[in-house]
Chain A
Amino acid sequence: MAKVTKKVKRIKIDADKCNGCRGCEIICSAYHATPRYSTINPARSRIRVITNRLEDIWLPVFAGEYTAAECLGRDVYVIDGKEYDECGFCRAVCPSRDLFKDPDSGLPLKCDMCEGEEIPQCVQWCLNDVLVYEEREEEVDEEFEITMAEAGVDSLINQYGLDKVADMVARRRKDR
């Protein structure tokens, strides 16, 4: 397979510094609204702060890939005496839970690292330096990357079946 250079964008999460403000959720949802900054809704954010206040858990988690099927097993982490939620560290948009699904359409949300911005919005907005942005270049095999649109189509197919979605697309094509 051919090699290409890929920019790896990384956000380091220093969860110990998180004060639980949820500002990252607010700004992410505002940034991804159309038009930009026209609406606010943490439920549409691609970062969620998993919170269990009395247990001292404030854990920012980013929305990752859409998955059609849930894992066969579950994990529960205990770190420093704190028990995190089942699948607590997982980024997946998974049928087993509501996390990272658009509240209206149910379609998956995915962190796109604020494509086009020099520094992701949540990183800029978090004044407590919990989220720290880093970038590096890496040689990788050329591969097929799943885009947001594709993830959306996948999720539609899973929800309504391939035939229905294909029909819908065909109908739309005719309408145009």
Chain B
Amino acid sequence: MRYAEVGYNLEIDLATGNIEREETDPGLIAAHLGGLGTSVKIHWDRVGPEVKAFDPGNLLIFSSGLLNATPAYSANRTVVTFVSPQTDLLAYPMMGGFWSAELKHAGYDKVILSGKSPDWIYIWIDDGKVELRDASHLLGRGAVETQTLIQEELGDRNIQVAAIGPAGENRVFTASIEQGRSSASRLGGGAVMGDKKVKAIAVRGSKDVYLARGAEFMNHMKAVTEYVNFRNANPIPDVMTILSGIGSPQEMVHTDEKWHTENFMWGNARTRRREFWTDEISDLWASRQHAAIKRLISCYNCPQHCGALISYGDTPRYMAKCFGKLTYAMAAYVDDLDFSWRILRQATEYGVDSFSTPQILAFAVELKEAGILTDADFEGCPEDNEGRFFWLLEKVAKREGIGDVLADGVYYAARAIGNGAEEFDHNTIKKHEQLPLKLGTLDPLYFLMYSTNEKISITQIEGNWPQAAFPSREQRETFVKDWPQLPEETWKEWLLEWEIRGEKAIPYWPTPDISAKIVDWMEMLHNIDDALCICAGMASFCLKPPYHIHNYHLLISAAAGVDMSEEDVKKIANRNRNLHRAYNNRRGMTRADEKPPEDHWKRRFPELEEELLTTYYAHKGWTYDGIPTRERLEELDLKYVADDLEQRGILHHG
């Protein structure tokens, strides 16, 4: 009997249509937990560094995590892993929604896709039975409408469908995989799916998932429930509204966007508009938002409601969440949220990431203004900001005209266009578009997170440590008073001493040593979430979350019946991260790649930055180049990784 996990993966060779139900090794829970952890292991074992994103050998894995389909709140992520066409590294965007639990009830932990299908298909997983069905009639259809069409075709609205839109079909590097109110967006999973000619994966299941010690598990969940209720009733004082609660950012609830609109950059991460949020704008935006949001909705088994059903005028309905509400308007310099609700629907149907795509469009507009792109490139494009964005979005999604080169993202487009376009690529890390933020003084924690994480996207690394120092000692004392999530009591001192100005302020505080420890802790939490497929919004991504390092091992042990201590869980998370790291090192990633954009901060401190990086690497047990040492790898039972890295000359003996 297998507990918490199902114990079977679904292997599909798309080239031959061969379908296998593979039993997995029960020992993998103790080694990697599941989710991202076990997926990285599969990529390590089966996809060598020579394999590129659009090679048949690139695996596309859809994985549930260890706790999906258990009663653990917010355990609903699906983690999608693949070599990214944009970064050439192992990407792992995650989606919430309802898909992964359904997959487990259908009898599988993961769907592993290899090869390429000769014809367009969609995959239908019906309680263990699997069928590859013709998808030619779905070509060109939107990612949202495809989900409905498949549900109708199969005659069951409760089927959960993950689908790509035209952008995925056309292998746009920012193509997403959409599912209900959620999407796996970053780094081109939709493009890899399109390259494999898989339009969608539909799932329905009615099998049991087992808990090893159910009553004990529910007992632990009782404490979690109490804390969820407590946190929902007691937002954290003295921090921005958006950071005060639990769950993903409540962008569908809050209408006050003063902070985002005045602190994030508009255009291609270019302009800060400090006086933007007037009373007039505030009223207009609130009314637009209220007009658009029909209902607040959640993901599977989650008491929060970070998503919304959008019903806006004549715009066909869709579901939205998070920051996409602002990204297009801000990138296009449109001062009316009306535009957001309309273009976001179009973007969701095309199936593109709403973080990186708007920046690509804004980048194109800048190149046009600079005379690097010409009238010929923009032939037929409307003159107004809104019309221009709709036009560009379509060109990119369909890879038409100038859209073809833009569809590879800012980094590659800049180099293909040349003629000075490279200068306008000022907001990418490891070739991926980052949040449009440009700030004053270097922040040591953020410097490390931006530079080093395998996620390559800051929003999914940060979380448990406050984003900035509290101005007064009193506020700090209030904050640390009730902070059971912290790994050690002594860490409270670091926050108490953290000032907004002076010696104990950024960039020198937290010190490199302390920064390394804090970042390591935050990353570890994300790695645990990603293996369990718990929403980061209820754990690693928010301040004082219900799930943390002191209760995870209890839930895991009771669910899976594999007894684990806090230390064991930490070690597994560490193992998973090091394996992922080594995988990316094997693909050529080194220290040289680990740097935020030049202009991310106005005030940079090159020596301090070097020290930060070196200290962090040393803390992680990595070499000066950011490669895990043999010693660290062996400690984590990853001798085979050390051997491999040495054989390839990536790690040097001794």
Which B residues are in CB contact (< 8 Å) with A71? none
Q: Determine which of A42, A53, A127 lies in contact with B297 in the assembled complex, contact meaning CB atoms within 8 Å.
A: A53
B210 at interface (Cβ–Cβ under 8 A)?
yes
Which residue of B has the minimal Cβ distance to A23? B301
Which residue of B has the minimal Cβ distance to A42? B105
A136 at interface (Cβ–Cβ under 8 A)?
no
Known contacts: A36-B214, A37-B217. The answer to whether A56 contacts B309 by CB under 8 A is yes
Which A residues are in CB contact (< 8 Å) with B228? 127
A91 at interface (Cβ–Cβ under 8 A)?
no
Q: Which of A26, A41, A53, A58 has the most CB of B within 10 A?
A: A53
B217-242 contacts to A (CB < 8 Å)? 217-218, 225, 228-229, 232
Contact B207 A30 (CB under 8 A): no
Q: Determine which of A22, A39, A42, A127 lies in contact with B210 in the assembled complex, contact meaning CB atoms within 8 Å.
A: A39
Contact A54 B214 (CB under 8 A): no
Contact B297 A23 (CB under 8 A): no
A88 at interface (Cβ–Cβ under 8 A)?
no
B185-219 contacts to A (CB < 8 Å)? 205-211, 214-215, 217-218
Contact A26 B206 (CB under 8 A): no
Known contacts: A35-B214, A54-B309. The answer to whether A40 contacts B300 by CB under 8 A is no
Contact B309 A30 (CB under 8 A): no
Contact A56 B294 (CB under 8 A): yes
Contact A56 B295 (CB under 8 A): yes
A135: min CB distance to chain B, Å: 22
Contact B181 A53 (CB under 8 A): yes
Contact B206 A40 (CB under 8 A): no
A19 at interface (Cβ–Cβ under 8 A)?
yes
CA distance A37 to B304 in the complex (A): 23
A5: min CB distance to chain B, Å: 33
B317 at interface (Cβ–Cβ under 8 A)?
yes
B582 at interface (Cβ–Cβ under 8 A)?
no
Contact B206 A56 (CB under 8 A): no
CA distance A54 to B348 in the complex (A): 14
A1-47 contacts to B (CB < 8 Å)? 19-23, 26-27, 30, 33, 35-44
B73 at interface (Cβ–Cβ under 8 A)?
yes
CA distance A26 to B301 in the complex (A): 8
Q: Determine which of B105, B297, B302 lies in contact with A43 in the assembled complex, contact meaning CB atoms within 8 Å.
A: B105
Contact B214 A38 (CB under 8 A): yes
CA distance A36 to B98 in the complex (A): 24
B299 at interface (Cβ–Cβ under 8 A)?
yes
Which B residues are in CB contact (< 8 Å) with A27? 71
Which B residues are in CB contact (< 8 Å) with A35? 214-215
Contact A36 B215 (CB under 8 A): yes
B603 at interface (Cβ–Cβ under 8 A)?
no
Which A residues are in CB contact (< 8 Å) with B305? 19, 128
CA distance A41 to B311 in the complex (A): 32
Q: When each residue 86-128 of chain A gets 1 if its CB lies under 8 Å from chain B and 0 otherwise, what string results?
A: 0000000000000000010000000000000000000001111
B85 at interface (Cβ–Cβ under 8 A)?
no
Known contacts: A53-B309, A54-B309. The answer to whether A30 contacts B218 by CB under 8 A is yes
CA distance A164 to B318 in the complex (A): 52
Which A residues are in CB contact (< 8 Å) with B73? 23
B286-325 contacts to A (CB < 8 Å)? 294-305, 309, 311, 317-319
Known contacts: A30-B214, A40-B211. The answer to whether A56 contacts B311 by CB under 8 A is yes
Which residue of A has the minimal Cβ distance to B209? A40
A52 at interface (Cβ–Cβ under 8 A)?
yes
B148 at interface (Cβ–Cβ under 8 A)?
yes
Q: Determine which of A26, A38, A128 lies in contact with B303 in the assembled complex, contact meaning CB atoms within 8 Å.
A: A128
B180 at interface (Cβ–Cβ under 8 A)?
yes
Interface residues on B, range: 35 or more
Contact B225 A127 (CB under 8 A): yes
A51 at interface (Cβ–Cβ under 8 A)?
yes
Contact A26 B71 (CB under 8 A): yes
Which A residues are in CB contact (< 8 Å) with B295? 19, 56, 58
CA distance A27 to B318 in the complex (A): 29
Known contacts: A35-B214, A37-B214. The answer to whether A43 contacts B206 by CB under 8 A is yes
Contact B299 A21 (CB under 8 A): yes
Which A residues are in CB contact (< 8 Å) with B217? 37
Which A residues are in CB contact (< 8 Å) with B300? 21-22
Which A residues are in CB contact (< 8 Å) with B299? 21
Q: Which of A20, A30, A42 has the most CB of B within 10 A?
A: A20
Q: Determine which of A19, A40, A126, A128 lies in contact with B71 in the assembled complex, contact meaning CB atoms within 8 Å.
A: A40
CA distance A36 to B318 in the complex (A): 39
Contact B105 A39 (CB under 8 A): no
CA distance A51 to B105 in the complex (A): 18
Q: When each residue 142-162 of chain A gets 1 if its CB lies under 8 Å from chain B and 0 otherwise, what string results?
A: 000000000000000000000
Which B residues are in CB contact (< 8 Å) with A43? 105, 205-206
B69: min CB distance to chain A, Å: 6
CA distance A10 to B318 in the complex (A): 35
Q: Determine which of B218, B302, B319 lies in contact with A53 in the assembled complex, contact meaning CB atoms within 8 Å.
A: B319
Contact B158 A41 (CB under 8 A): no
Which A residues are in CB contact (< 8 Å) with B148? 54
A36-78 contacts to B (CB < 8 Å)? 36-44, 51-54, 56, 58
Known contacts: A21-B301, A56-B309. The answer to whether A37 contacts B105 by CB under 8 A is no
Which A residues are in CB contact (< 8 Å) with B181? 53
B415 at interface (Cβ–Cβ under 8 A)?
no
Which A residues are in CB contact (< 8 Å) with B317? 54
Contact A41 B71 (CB under 8 A): no
Q: When each residue 331-362 of chain B gets 1 if its CB lies under 8 Å from chain A and 0 otherwise, what string results?
A: 00000000000000000000000000000000
B157 at interface (Cβ–Cβ under 8 A)?
yes
Q: Determine which of A40, A53, A128 lies in contact with B70 in the assembled complex, contact meaning CB atoms within 8 Å.
A: A40
Known contacts: A21-B298, A103-B206. The answer to whether A53 contacts B214 by CB under 8 A is no
Beyond A20-B298, A103-B206, 6 additional pairs, beta carbon < 8 A: A26-B301, A37-B215, A41-B105, A41-B206, A42-B105, A127-B232
Pairs of residues from A and B, 6 with the lowest C-beta to C-beta distance, nearest first: A37-B214, A43-B206, A127-B303, A103-B206, A39-B208, A19-B298
B interface residues with partner A (beta carbon < 8 Å) = 69-71, 73, 98, 105, 148, 157-158, 180-181, 205-211, 214-215, 217-218, 225, 228-229, 232, 294-305, 309, 311, 317-319
Q: List 6 A-B contacts (CB under 8 A).
A: A21-B299, A22-B98, A37-B71, A52-B157, A56-B309, A127-B303
